[in-house]
Structure 1
Amino acid sequence: MRWFDVDEVVALDRLAFGPDTWTTEFFLAQLAGPGNHFRVVRDAGTDELLGYAGLSVAGGEAEVLTIATAPSARGRGIARTLLTGLIDLARSNGAEAVYLDVRDDNSPALGLYRSLGFAELGRRPGYYHDADALVMRALLID
């Protein structure tokens, strides 16, 4: 992701997360953050933004900051591709674990995360506008 992607990403973020959306300024600040890595997926034919994701790596830990897929592109494996890429990036940067927060009512995301080895560690009551967050972790070491 580059600065010139941010307006489109913010629009998709608004669709995906509603009142919990990030602002343009917050995305730009996150892009500039040390240890932060962001990716976008675009349609090869139309250049339409299909999804985006962000990861922060510090020491032996990494955190998925955000991940979303365009409604028109859901069910095509884009979130899986983004997340496996983030996991690979975390591993290559020396992380031994990846953490993330997810709405407790987001069944598709929970299924994806569990299929990639994430396990629930705890709950953050009221973390989202109208839902709790589940804290999940995937270990990257054997």
Structure 2
Amino acid sequence: MSETFALRPATIQDVEPIAFAELELFPDEAWTVFQLAEEIEHPDRRYVVAVDQDGPEELRGYAGIMLAGDTADLHTIGALVEGRGIGRALLAWCEQAARDGGAQRMLLEVREDNDRARSFYRRAGYQEIGRRRGYYRIRGRSIDAIVMERAL
């Protein structure tokens, strides 16, 4: 496996690899190829992929935001390889894309039981600002979403 990765805007050709990654990372709430294609082609969305820089271009991560005036929503972020800074790089790319799109703050939702992600976002400067009770319905369980925010 390559030790370096590069970020580039996602294209429609990335939909299938991202869909497989979704199934691996978020099996209970994975987006379909159709949803992902719609997102990547939407004028108010910005999606990025992390790929191996050396050798064959293999997906290592992806992320996407929705622009809505002075606010951006982080729709998804997933790193297939841990410990290489891919998640941090994807988040930084999304924050810059949000700024470039006129956003002054970024919002996101994270499952209450996802301690690793919540810690990742806190380290990146996000603060918990709310809760959406029962937002996630997974295998008959109801899980709250924690809403987090960061000024850009």
Common fold by TM > 0.5: yes
Which residue of the partner structure matches residue 17 of structure 1? 26
Q: Are positions 1:135 and 2:135 aligned together?
A: no
Equivalent residues in 2 for 1:1-142 (5 A)?
1-44=10-53, 45-70=55-80, 73-128=81-136, 129=138, 130=141, 131-140=143-152
Structure 1, unmatched stretches of 5+, are: none
**Equivalents in 2 of 1:125, 1:14: separation in Å?**
25
**Equivalents in 2 of 1:84, 1:58: separation in Å?**
18
Structure 2, unmatched stretches of 5+, are: 1-9
The RMSD of aligned alpha carbons is: 1.2
Using the TM superposition, give the Cα deviation of residue 49 of structure 1 relative to its aligned residue in structure 2, in angstroms: 0.7
Q: Deviations over 1:30-65 (max 9, x none)?
A: 112221000000112232210000011121010101
Using the TM superposition, give the Cα deviation of residue 12 of structure 1 relative to its aligned residue in structure 2, in angstroms: 0.3
For 1:114, give the aligned amino acid: R
Q: Deviations over 1:82-121 (max 9, x none)?
A: 0011111111221111000111122221122111211111
| Identical columns (%) | 38
Q: Deviations over 1:115-138 (max 9, x none)?
A: 121111111222222432111110
Structure number having the greater strand percentage: 2
For 1:12, give the aligned amino acid: A
For 2:69, give the aligned amino acid: G
Q: What is the total number of aligned residue pairs between the two structures? A: 138
Structure number having the greater helix percentage: 1
**Equivalents in 1 of 2:134, 2:82: separation in Å?**
26
Using the TM superposition, give the Cα deviation of residue 17 of structure 1 relative to its aligned residue in structure 2, in angstroms: 0.7
**Equivalents in 2 of 1:17, 1:127: separation in Å?**
15
For 2:15, give the aligned amino acid: V
